[in-house]
Amino acid sequence: MGIGRAVALRLARDGWTVAATARGADKLDELVHEAPAGRIIACPGDVTDTSAVHAIVQRLEAEHGGIALAILNAGTYAKDSAETLKRDSFAATIELNLVSVAGCVEALMPAWTERRRGHLAIVASVAGYRGLPGALAYGASKAGLINFTEALKFDFDRLGLKAQLINPGFVRTPLTDKNDFPMPFIIEAEDAAERIVRGLQGSAFEIAFPRRFVAILKRLRGLPYSLYFSLVGRGTGQKKARR
């Protein structure tokens, strides 16, 4: 189970009416049937298609009384390196993980600005704190999301809106099941959903977990480059060529 699916089910069981968007209509139908009756609305669509996103938002505004909370969670990961880097695959990851988020925010803002009410949560990752081996595109996209959400909060504060940043560590999902490297402090998707929903009810800007892993990575973020590259390189088994 992915994070988005787990959060949608948790919110639906808490009494929310949840509009879920994904490219796969079959998976959305499964989600609808798994939730309490009438609590999840299937909205098939591709978040990289800006016109489709606008159409979904306009439909929800017209038919369901507006969007109170938007959780932007779409994303993908493919391991890459200097030797395997391809511009097109890099651009595709940035388009889905980062650029599509701007399109979603663009679609949400007219109604939220008019009402002066709205709650946005953007899912980035602790992988965006600093550069990590095997995450050229993914890390860049998540670092971009962190910066984007931080910058966006100034505007949201001015407009009376709420913005939050969600930075998960490793969560057991179909995506992480493909990873061929150790994933410290990994948690289940249902546990991640619990932490996210609890954080959404609070006032903290960042919702980051698990705490021990986040604390370690934030300490690493403060290290000088020479020490950071040495520690992370050794910890992840990166061999440095001799000169």
Active site residues: 138
Q: Which residues of 157-181 are buried (b: 16+ CB within 10 A; e: fewer)?
A: eebebbbbbbbbbbbbbeeeeeeee
- The pair of structure tokens assigned to 3 is 């994070």
CA dihedral 70, 176, 219, 135 (to 10 degrees): -90
What is the rounded CA–CA span in Å between residue 188 and residue 192? Answer: 6
> Do residues 139 and 128 make contact, with C-beta atoms less than 8 angstroms apart?
yes
- Dihedral sign from CA coordinates of 190, 124, 40, 43: negative
Q: Which residues pair with 72 in a beta bridge?
A: 122
- Could you check whether the bond before residue 224 is cis, i.e. omega within 30 degrees of 0? no
For 121, phi then psi, to 5°, come to -130, 125
Q: Containing H/E element for 160?
A: none
Q: Containing H/E element for 122?
A: strand 119-123
